[in-house]
Chains A and B, each alone.
Chain A
Amino acid sequence: MAADGQPSRKGFFTDTSVCIGCKACEVACKEWNQVPEDGLDFLASSFDNSGRLSADTWRHVAFIEQRQPLGHQDPGVGRPEGGAGDAPGPVDLGMPSFDLPGQRTGEDGGSGGGDFRWLMSSDVCKHCTSAACLDVCPTGALFRTEFDTVVVQEDICNGCGYCVPACPYGVIDRREVDGRAWKCTLCYDRLGDGLEPACAKACPTDSIQFGDLDELRERAERRVEDLQEAGVSSARLYGEDPGNGVDGAGAFFLLLDEPEVYGLPPDPVVTTRDLPSMWRHAGAAAVVLLAGAAAAFAGRRS
């Protein structure tokens, strides 16, 4: 609670470095919010089967395999059978790799051949400080809550679909069968009862952390420093900066690669930032149209 009795701003810090890709968050979200099934598909893109955030996917776990080491971590793949001396050999954890099964010779030693990292990240609505979806909504169905989150009121949305292309992160979408827009509510109902959102509650590794945004930001700073010190030089925060294109996201991330690798825009800007200029240009065009027509009538009478 802030001094004025208003609840402080709530948000998510998703630390993807500890995500194990269990999709408990996806399931918990669907269960709690009664989000319909969105296609039981194999997408042939790693273990990802939901593909993207949509009207029926409010948490989406991304999977990316890379031929890269993760800091000083030893992934334990591609090593010759049996360790040095009497030490037990590495246990095959069934991790995916780039070689066909049984093709690992280990001849290239520990370097390169064993480089493998598996990135996983649970994506969600960013609950932007300057939210394009909310700005463009003509009905006022999208609104900002007392927790500074962005929520759709489903009894008001008329399904105009404007918010869908307005969101720079590709989050909100229109549900085909029902014609209205849906997205993460940051479990508005649970927050009201003093509970944490279902995804954060379900996450077994605390990859999804819920709390006061200020505190989460501090925690995230410390976590990046720790990781960097541990040799994970690719660790970085995404979206936490109040000076970014959406004036700071309410849900931000710790990533291990560039944002676009996770399907996130590298430098999103809320589209309404340019709206005043758009209106000015439209006004100028309207004046030109009027002047052009006037000139056409002022010409000789024919």
Chain B
Amino acid sequence: MTNPEHTGEGAAVSGRDAITGAAGVVSEEQRARRGEREGGQRSGRRGGRRRGEPTRVPDADFRSYHGRPVLNQIVWEARDIGGYLFLGGLAGASSVLAAGAEVTGRPGLARPLKYTALAAISGSTAALIHDLGRPERFLNMLRVFKPTSPMSVGSWLLMGYGPLAGAAAVTAATGWFPRTGTAATIGAGALGPLVATYTAPLICDTAVPSWHEGYREMPFVFASSAAAAAGGVGLLASPTAQSGPARRVAVGGALTEVAVSSFMEHRMGLVGEPYGQGRAGALTRAAKALTLGGAAGAVLGRRSRALSALSGAALVAGSALTRLGVFQAGVQSAADPKYTVVPQRQRLEERQHSEERA
């Protein structure tokens, strides 16, 4: 009640519903019109929207309780959980690339990626712990194993992956136990893809409209964004002679990320809107610009160490902004009752229509 950012109060109070619920009483006639407009919207949108144009969804007519959000607001801090998503992805994909570099004899590429993986997964775990209401109770995460809770699955995954990433990095730094080091590198590389993707079900498995509705594409967005970031680190930290695969992964990841996230935002319709608006919109646009710029630089700067490094840095930053943009879009969609009420009302009405017809 005290923190408007958490209660969502004020933020969502807009339009005709802001005054009282009374203003929201819709007459039969008005309701008929609303039905019409929704119909028009559906056919209108199929006409296709040129890229870059803002998603134009007609002002949705809906009712709410004094304009207040239906959902309780996300209590996570953007820095902590956005960072947790980004660093987890960076770690996982770095381990995959490190394993590839190890197997194909590119130590100059493998070593920095192993360090990155350890640092990133430590940072990711620290961010998660920092965000807990009771950080000292972090180990309660390991009281149970619950497949219905992606956070539980993720915690166990980190317990398996963390030590492998650690062993890979430490053996690379010290040169001790090289065979154990190789085994750990490959083990971490095998778990890496899961570490990079489990965070997508984690956020999608909520009632937050702009997260839940994207559950099909989100893992692909996260995986490709992670690949772009890890590839970026490869470009940043390894000699050009060994960075070829990192470059290819970076460019492939970057292009896939931009394509899949744009597709996702478009397919979600109304609840895709927050990805183009306000802070989430700014973050998402910046992320795409950095990612595409980084990819272009990675291709053009093939022979230049400096340009490669710059492109790598842009890709890493783009990946971080992607996660922050996704996070912020979720926050915005939970704060506005429109995104909860309108799609559910539509679903309900469609169901009633089909029942009537049947």
Contacts and interface: CB of A to CB of B under 8 A. Distances in A.
User: Are A and B a genuine interacting pair, yes or no?
Assistant: yes
Interface string B242-262: 001110110011000000000
Given A48-B66, A138-B141, A290-B193, 6 more contacts: A43-B9, A157-B133, A158-B138, A266-B344, A282-B201, A289-B193
Contacts, number: 288
B223 A286 contact: yes
B62 to A, nearest CB: 7
B207 A263 contact: no
A165 B72 contact: yes
Contact of B22 (A38, A67, A171): A67
B149 A292 contact: no
A157 B63 CA distance: 35
A136 B134 contact: no
Given A51-B7, A67-B25, A260 B62 contact: yes
Contacts of A157: 133-134, 137, 140
A45 B20 contact: yes
A174 B9 CA distance: 16
A260 B1 contact: no
A212 B65 CA distance: 30
B67 to A, nearest CB: 8
Contacts of B329: none
Nearest to B347: A267
A122 to B, nearest CB: 13
Nearest to B133: A159
A37 to B, nearest CB: 10
Interface stretch (B92-100, B278-286, B312-320): B92-100
Contacts of A132: 206-207
Interface of B: 1-3, 6-7, 9, 20-22, 24-25, 62-66, 68-76, 93, 96-97, 100-101, 103-104, 131-135, 137-138, 140-141, 143-144, 146, 148-152, 155, 192-194, 196-198, 200-201, 204-208, 211-212, 215-216, 218-220, 222-224, 226-227, 241, 244-246, 248-249, 252-253, 330, 334, 337, 340-341, 344-345, 347-348
Contacts of A65: 20-22
B352 to A, nearest CB: 10
A174 B72 CA distance: 10
Interface stretch (A10-18, A77-85, A100-108, A294-302): A294-302
A168 B223 CA distance: 27
Contacts of A296: 100, 245-246, 248-249, 252
B302 to A, nearest CB: 9
Could you say which interface size class chain A belongs to?
A: 35 or more
B20 A292 contact: no
B205 to A, nearest CB: 5
A289 B133 contact: no
A281 B219 contact: yes
12 contacts: A138-B146, A156-B137, A158-B140, A160-B141, A161-B75, A165-B330, A174-B133, A274-B204, A286-B193, A286-B196, A293-B227, A297-B245
A46 B148 contact: no
A22 interface: no
A90 interface: no
A148 interface: no
Contacts of B9: 43, 51
Most chain A CB atoms below 10 A, which of B101, B104, B216: B216
Contact of B345 (A50, A178, A266, A292): A266
Contacts of A98: 22
A267 B1 contact: no
Given A165-B74, A278-B215, A286-B197, A139 B141 contact: yes
Nearest to A137: B149
Nearest to B343: A267
A271 B205 contact: yes
Contacts of B334: 165
B160 to A, nearest CB: 14
A171 B72 contact: yes
Nearest to B202: A162
B77 to A, nearest CB: 10
A41 interface: yes
Interface in A52-86: 52-54, 56, 62, 64-68
A140 B223 contact: no
A138 B65 contact: no
B35 to A, nearest CB: 14
A226 to B, nearest CB: 24
A302 B219 contact: no
A249 to B, nearest CB: 15
Contacts of A263: 64-66, 68, 70, 337
Contacts of A139: 137, 140-141, 143-144, 152
A133 B183 CA distance: 39
Interface in A253-302: 257-258, 260-268, 271-272, 274-275, 277-279, 281-290, 292-297, 299-302
A140 B146 contact: yes
A188 B21 CA distance: 34
A264 B345 CA distance: 12
A172 interface: yes
A233 to B, nearest CB: 12
